[in-house]
Amino acid sequence: MFYFDEGLDHQGPCIRPPSEAYSILLQATLGCSHNKCTFCETFKNKRFAIKDRSIWEKDLQFAEKYCKRQNRVFVMDGDALIMPMKHWEWLLTNIAERLPWVERVATYGNAKGVALKSDEDLRRLRELGLSMIYYGVESGHPDVLRDVRKGSTPEKLVEQGRRLKETGFVLSITVMAGIAGVEGSLEHARKTGEVLSLIDPEYVGALTLLLAPGTPLEEKARRGEFILPDQLALLREMGVMIENTALTDGWFMANHPSNYLPIKAHLPFDKETTLTRIHAALSGGVGLRPEWARAF
């Protein structure tokens, strides 16, 4: 979801999770250090960089004066967690000192960024106030991860996700329906559920693939080498993913506008009622979001 704010230095496009809609959005980095995923167009025209500290300083001055009603901070861009510790220590220390009303600081992270941090580094980030990581998984299937150039494996995603959990972070994992195409749809859903179960996050954020013009995956689709599942097949995929996801006490959310059926399920408690609702939607008993209303 895109967001722009006149008071802060946002060099667009910028993205943030739906749950960070009312957060103070501090853009500490530009782009994504990986920037190879075949389905993503967001940062294609941005070269990854850490923004100058003087810009952070101006943003903090603005937030200090004008953002006192916002009690959360989200640090952008795509995988800001990868910043070296010296930058995180300065930023988090200044957020704590200058925005003392802030109750939560969160950021995006990927397996590579987590792996570059030691357990001591991760615990230090927690001590300084970084408390929540939005962790990009997308799929638990090794072939899908390879095909979309995610730069990781299911084993690495589980290992680094578990490290975040064990060092005290609240974890929100992003997964994506449709990314395996028609042929791999249900196996992708099963294996993604298995990876989610092994990591056991507090939150899962499920999106549904929209083919962005100009991306390698969209070009592959135009050549007939990738077929996006239709509406009902995507619903079945989401159902299989939920069916195979065993969380100790977590939320499976599909409230992103890319999804046909909004879902908010507290697992394991709401699993059966959620699956029943998906089955009802498959038979036409529950209305779906119209195509024109879907967006990334």
Q: Where exactly are the structural domains of the chain?
A: 18-293
Asked if 138 contacts 208 with a C-beta cutoff of 8 angstroms, the reply is no
| Predicted local confidence at residue 6, as pLDDT | 63
Res 7: pLDDT: 82
Structure tokens at 247: 């969380």
Separation between Cα atoms, residue 98 and residue 2, nearest integer Å? 26
CA 62 to chain CA centroid, nearest Å = 27
Q: Do residues 70 and 23 make contact, with C-beta atoms less than 8 angstroms apart?
A: yes
Rounded to an integer, what distance in angstroms lies between the CA atom of residue 163 and that of residue 144? Answer: 23
Please list the residues that pair with 281 across neighbouring strands.
none
CATH of domain 18-293: 3.20.20.70
- Of 16, 38, 34, 33, nearest to 25 by C-alpha is 16
Chunked into runs of 10 residues, the chain (296 residues) has average pLDDT values of: 64 87 95 93 89 96 95 95 98 98 97 97 98 97 98 98 98 98 97 98 97 95 97 97 98 94 97 98 94 87
| pLDDT on residue 1 | 39
**Distance between start and end Cα atoms, the chain:** 6
**Phi and psi angles of residue 179, each rounded to the nearest 5 degrees, phi first:** -70, -20
Whether the CB-CB separation of 128 and 93 falls below 8 Å is answered with: yes
Q: In angstroms, how far is CA 264 from the centroid of its own chain?
A: 16
* Three-class HEC string of the chain: CECCCCCCCCCCCCECCHHHCCCEEEECEECCCCCCCCCCCCCCCCCCEECCHHHHHHHHHHHHHHCCCCCEEEEECCCHHHCCHHHHHHHHHHHHHHCCCCCEEEEEECHHHHHCCCHHHHHHHHHHCEEEEEEEEECCCHHHHHHCCCCCCHHHHHHHHHHHHHCCCEEEEEEEECCCCCCCHHHHHHHHHHHHHHHCCCEEEEEECCCCCCCHHHHHHHCCCCCCCCHHHHHHHHHHHHHCCCCCCEEEECCCCCCCCCCEEEECCCHHHHHHHHHHHHCCCCCCCCHHHCCC
Whether 281 and 288 have beta carbons less than 8 Å apart is answered as yes
Predicted TM-score (pTM) of this structure: 0.94
- What pLDDT is recorded for position 12? 79
